[in-house]
Amino acid sequence: MKQNRQQPFNKLEMMMLMDSDRSLVFKNELMIDDNFDKPISQEDRDKYMTSVYPFKLMFMMIILCTKGYMRFRCNLQEHLVKAGNVIILFPNSIGECLESSPDFQVAFIACLDDSYASETNSSFSTKFRNQLARQMVISLTEEQMDEMLFFYRLMRKKIQAPHTEFTREALKGCMQVILADCYQELSDMLQISGKKGQESRSQRLFQEFLKLVQRHYTQERSITFYADALYLTPKYLAQVIYSESGRHAGEWIKDCVILEAKVLLKSGKYTVQQVGDLLNFANASFFGKYFKAAVGCSPKQYQKS
């Protein structure tokens, strides 16, 4: 039995962010904050914006940058966010903050999962979640940013007001407008044409499959596990995944496993054997073959590269 496993990443929980006098929280499931009134303190810059070790984001987050810049790495890809940019990060993203300017000014909206965005036109969801993984930073015009900040301030107002049975719905409405504008801008940037109409059953199954993979990929790499969880046969699930994404289910699972393996190897804190153990491979040899088949080199070669 494998014991005493170290936690591979620092988990960044939503409530760990709440140390600002501008922070507002709704029912411990949604949080908003900004530093419009004063610059980020040196203590917070050292705490959140210095590359010490990768962290795994445990919530969904929308970041609106109004001044300055920040360099960050997400899922091994480096990005620069500056004034007029918006970023959307999903749960289980692996990130590092590399550098920020002293005048870096942002507002952010965080929620425990994507339930606050669930009513956004779902026919876009599959395409844009995939596209955001590659085009994470969205550029806005001054008018577009002003509109998003209007809804951000409206959310602040709703949270500060006495809560009613419809407060959550009002907050969800604001979130959906912000996300719809982001999706539209990303669509224009990437010239993606979305399908019209309601989300099909196969699209819903694909989204459920992705959510399950994000939760279980370190323990489960068999499509049978995910098919059982969705009460489907492995053959039918495989057909749905390939039809919706043009990729095999195993490729989606492998992408998650290999991404985490790469970050662990590059952290310099683990041997190849320890990485294989953290990812629940039977032994280092099996992990090495799996990694080399996906990446083209052995884990040790990748670690040294």
Q: What is the pLDDT of residues 8-60, one digit of tens each?
A: 556 666 656 656 788 899 998 999 999 888 766 666 655 555 554 567 788 88
User: What's the CATH number where 264 sits?
Assistant: 1.10.10.60
pLDDT of residue 166: 92
pLDDT of residue 270: 87
Query: Is the per-residue pLDDT at 84 higher than 90?
Result: yes
Most confident range, picked from 46-55, 92-101, 241-250, 281-290: 281-290
Higher pLDDT, 255 or 121: 255
Query: Is the per-residue pLDDT at 235 higher than 60?
Result: yes
pLDDT mean across residues, the chain: 81
pLDDT of residue 83: 94
249 pLDDT band, cuts 50/70/90, is: very high
Residue 64 lies in a domain: yes
Same domain, 74 and 177: yes
Domain boundary among 130, 158, 190: 190
pLDDT of residue 44: 63
Residue 195 lies in a domain: no
User: What's the CATH number where 139 sits?
Assistant: 2.60.120.280
Query: Which residues make Cβ contacts (< 8 Å) with residue 251, sequence separation at least 6?
Result: none
Query: Is the per-residue pLDDT at 73 higher than 90?
Result: no
pLDDT of residue 14: 63
Same domain, 225 and 164: no
Same domain, 48 and 134: yes
Q: Is 188 left (phi over 0), alpha (psi -120 to 50) or beta?
A: alpha
pLDDT in tens, 176-212: 889 888 888 877 766 644 444 445 788 788 888 988 8
The domain tally of the chain equals 2
The angle subtended at Cα 102 by Cα 101 and Cα 106, nearest 5°, is 75
Same domain, 169 and 83: yes
Percent of the chain with pLDDT over 90: 39
pLDDT of residue 86: 94
pLDDT of residue 197: 42
Domain boundary among 190, 220, 245: 190
Residue pointed to by tokens 């480096």? 78
| Rounded mean pLDDT, 1-14 | 51
Residue 157's domain comprises 10-190
pLDDT of residue 2: 36
Same domain, 109 and 177: yes
Percent of the chain with pLDDT over 70: 78
Of how many residues is the chain composed? 305
pLDDT in tens, 121-169: 454 556 666 667 667 889 999 999 999 999 999 999 999 999 998 999 9
pLDDT of residue 230: 92
Query: Is the per-residue pLDDT at 116 higher than 50?
Result: yes
